Amino acid sequence: MQTEDLKLKMMAQEKIKSLRNVPMHYCPGCGHIIVHRLICEVIDELDIREQVIGVAPVGCAVLAYDYWNFDVAEAAHGRPPAVATGIKKVEPDKIVFTYQGDGDLASIGTAEIIHCANRGENISVFFINNAIYGMTGGQMAPTTLIGQSTTTTPQGRDIKRNGYPLKVCELLSVLPGVVYIERVALNSADNIIKTKQAIKKSFQIQMKGKGFSLIEILSSCPTNWGLSPAEALKWVEEKMIPYFPLGVINYKGNSD
Amino acid sequence: MKVLISGNEAIGEGAIQAGCTFYAGYPITPQNELTAYMAKMMSEIGGTFIQAESELAAINMVFGASAAGARAMTSSSSPGISLKQEGISYLVGCELPAVIVNMMRAGPGLGNITPAQGDYFQATKGGGHGDYYLIVFAPNSVEEAFELQKQAFDLADRYRNPVLILGDGILGQMMEAITINSQSQRTSLRSKQLTTNSQKHWALTGCKNRQPNIIRSLFLKEGVLEKHNKKLQKKFAEMQEKEVRYEKINIEDAEVILIAYGTMSRICRGAMQRARKQGIKIGLIRPISLWPFPYSVIKEMACLNKRFLVVEMSYGQMVEDVRLAVEGKSKVDFYGRGGGVIPQEKEILQKINQISKCKLKT
């Protein structure tokens, strides 16, 4: 891991071609900043910037195209997997990915993600799970934890009223069309490196034409959680990871 | 080559000849023959056919395919078209071309599968959220459906805006003879079109040797959305100027003018011929483009003191546009039936006779 650490440090000093050199609108401590950067680092490392087509969600990350320096389409809320399907069918040699939050992917877009995975579309999905609706000001997400208070669950998420936090990776892992599913987190340097490796593996699987992969990334939203950035990372570790266990959930075949 | 073909299949054939390489749809009656035709043809020509998980997914797959530069289409019938409205609004906002076919059935709600014209408002006044229009063509024969479908793709690309073909169950199901190109003509037409597709400078094809392209409809900075919307409005103004289409029959000496579109215009034509035999001076204006609507010709006729009878398979939707065109200068009558009931020639003739008598009295 030490060499990886060093590599990461060196990368941080280099200019990332896939990332525009502009200030981001995200709040301090927001995980989107890290994931945007990791995706761009991987794209540079694989030298695929000119082949990549990204699909941005509705949510805080809709403005991803202001930061990514490659082709991007916006999609209606929850529809990125359908839009990506259309793009990939027309441009099968391009590297297509969607970037979606928990409201986008696991609530309003549940049908689209299940069927996209079930068709085994050869795309990569980066699913940012921060257990809350960020852009609209902190409402309950499908992944909001039991007891977690939000503006729409002021007394905390009650399973009798709101049901259970949705485990997307486990749900999709039973589908035969899925090649690779892993859940990672951004709470520590180690886990950030693992996140980057997972993103890379997902792209490599697509480049080899193997099929559908999804990386769920547990991420923090200090603003809407009412925590400091440091406390938020601790919350990911202590509250989110026990409910959403990390690791490879489904992997068929060797990507190498 | 002459072939006997249903309206649904003719629309599919028109799309194939226009270089459409992507179709996504969801089953709904009465347009299933079109979906089946596209499934068969796309595998023959090496295009993409997807039976989507929902109408929402279908229109968003079309969005993706169009964003990547393909000529893409979807089709459905009334309840399904309602579901697609979100995607249609995004297509307009993102300035993406697409062709959408609505073979209308009777509503509201699930209604039933009989033919109707109850989606006129939805089709011509935008349909989804935001300020926008689609070019809307209403063919009244299989041959015309075939021709308009081909033109729809050209216009969608020219304006970077979706075009809607509005038919009904009768048009979709009935069979008529049309002339289609031979296999070799078809292949050369298609390859020519595919070259044009690859020249879409705005499409998402990977940013090799160019700046990245962004497809978006979100504009947050003050004034930017207004600027974007003004650009869209300028396109709509140009469509209003250039894309109005209609047919007029027996107008010169007419005292009463029937106005009807699609299937209804064929029945009105029969009623007109019967009324002429009775000596009634009657004509017919058939709007082919429902948006942009042929306001000018109707206004012109109103100024000549001609009277109008609008007939629709609805309780009166297009009649509102006719009244806007007439601006109170003449009298506008309406006859329509809904719920999938089609006004018959003799009912229309009866109404013509009433109006005609009324006219004699005044």
Best B50, B197, B202, B215 residue to mutate vs chain A (most A CBs within 10 Å)? B215
Please state, in angstroms and rounded to a whole number, the distance separating the CA atoms of residues B352 and B190: 47
- Using CA atoms, how far residue B312 sits from A147, B124, B258, B340, in Å, is 57, 15, 11, 11
Nearest 10 degrees: CA dihedral of B344, B170, B323, B80?
A: 140
**In sequence order, what DSSP letters do the residues of B19-34 get, joined into one string?**
T--EEEE---TT-HHH
**In sequence order, what DSSP letters do the residues of A208-231 get, joined into one string?**
TT--EEEEEEE---HHHHT--HHH
Q: Which pair of tokens denotes residue A145?
A: 């934890």
Least Cα separation, residue A241 to chain B (angstroms): 32
Report chain A residues whose CB lies below 8 A from the CB of B45: none
State yes or no: cis peptide before A222, omega within 30 of 0. Answer: no
Residues recorded for chain B: 362
Please state, in angstroms and rounded to a whole number, the distance separating the CA atoms of residues B353 and B332: 15
What is the fold, at CATH topology level, of the domain defined by B2-201+231-241? Rossmann fold (3.40.50)
What is the fold, at CATH topology level, of the domain defined by B247-361? Rossmann fold (3.40.50)
> Domains of chain A by range and CATH?
2-251 (3.40.50.970)
Least Cα separation, residue A197 to chain B (angstroms): 23
User: Do the chains contact at A74 and B216, CB–CB below 8 Å?
Assistant: yes
| pLDDT tens profile A206-247 | 999 999 999 999 999 999 999 999 999 999 999 999 999 999
Please state, in angstroms and rounded to a whole number, the distance separating the CA atoms of residues A218 and B207: 30
Please state, in angstroms and rounded to a whole number, the distance separating the CA atoms of residues A95 and A124: 8
Residue of A nearest to B53 (CA): A115
**Residue B179: what pLDDT?**
87
User: Do the chains contact at B57 and A115, CB–CB below 8 Å?
Assistant: yes
Q: Measured between CB atoms, does A60 come within 8 Å of chain B? A: no
Please state, in angstroms and rounded to a whole number, the distance separating the CA atoms of residues B102 and B119: 9
Q: Which chain A residues in 25-54 lie under 8 Å from chain B, judged by CB atoms?
A: 49-53
User: Do the chains contact at A82 and B68, CB–CB below 8 Å?
Assistant: no
Q: Where are the domains of chain B?
A: 2-201+231-241, 247-361
Residues recorded for chain A: 256
CB atoms within 10 A of CB B60: 32
Instruction: Identify the helix (H) or strand (E) that includes residue A70.
Output: none
Name the residue facing B86 among A68, A76, A89 (closest C-beta). A76
CB distance A21 to A37 below 8 Å: no
User: Do the chains contact at A71 and B63, CB–CB below 8 Å?
Assistant: no
CB distance A89 to A123 below 8 Å: no
Q: Measured between CB atoms, does B215 come within 8 Å of chain A? A: yes
Each of the 362 residues of chain B gets a pLDDT tens digit; together they read 899 999 999 999 999 999 999 999 999 999 999 999 999 999 998 999 999 999 999 999 999 999 999 999 999 999 999 999 999 999 999 999 999 999 999 999 999 999 999 999 999 999 999 999 999 999 999 999 999 999 999 999 999 999 999 999 999 999 999 988 877 777 777 777 777 777 899 999 999 999 999 999 999 999 999 999 999 999 999 999 999 999 999 999 999 999 999 999 999 999 999 999 999 999 999 999 999 999 999 999 999 999 999 999 999 999 999 999 999 999 999 999 999 999 999 999 999 999 988 765 55
User: Do the chains contact at A72 and B65, CB–CB below 8 Å?
Assistant: no
Q: Measured between CB atoms, does B74 come within 8 Å of chain A? A: no
Q: Measured between CB atoms, does A4 come within 8 Å of chain B? A: no
User: Do the chains contact at B205 and A91, CB–CB below 8 Å?
Assistant: yes
Backbone angles phi, psi at A192, to 5 degrees: -65, -40
Name the residue facing B204 among A71, A76, A114 (closest C-beta). A71
Report chain A residues whose CB lies below 8 A from the CB of B94: 73-74
- Report how far Cα B199 is from the mean position of its chain's Cα atoms: 27
Q: Measured between CB atoms, does B205 come within 8 Å of chain A? A: yes
Helix (H, G, I), strand (E, B) or coil at B99: strand
Report chain B residues whose CB lies below 8 A from the CB of A25: none
Helix (H, G, I), strand (E, B) or coil at B48: strand
**Residue B182: what pLDDT?**
77
Report chain B residues whose CB lies below 8 A from the CB of A84: 64
Please state, in angstroms and rounded to a whole number, the distance separating the CA atoms of residues B152 and B308: 30
Q: Measured between CB atoms, does B5 come within 8 Å of chain A? A: no
Please state, in angstroms and rounded to a whole number, the distance separating the CA atoms of residues B9 and B172: 8
Any idea what DSSP says for residue A153?
A: B
Side chain identity at residue A87, one-letter code? I
As averages over each run of 10 residues, the pLDDT of chain A (256 residues) reads 62 81 95 98 98 97 96 98 98 98 98 98 98 96 98 97 98 96 98 98 98 98 98 98 96 66
Helix (H, G, I), strand (E, B) or coil at A18: coil
Please state, in angstroms and rounded to a whole number, the distance separating the CA atoms of residues B248 and A221: 64
Q: A114: burial class by Cβ within 10 Å (0-12, 13-18, 19+)?
A: middle
User: Do the chains contact at A75 and B204, CB–CB below 8 Å?
Assistant: no
pTM as predicted: 0.95
Please state, in angstroms and rounded to a whole number, the distance separating the CA atoms of residues B306 and B332: 10
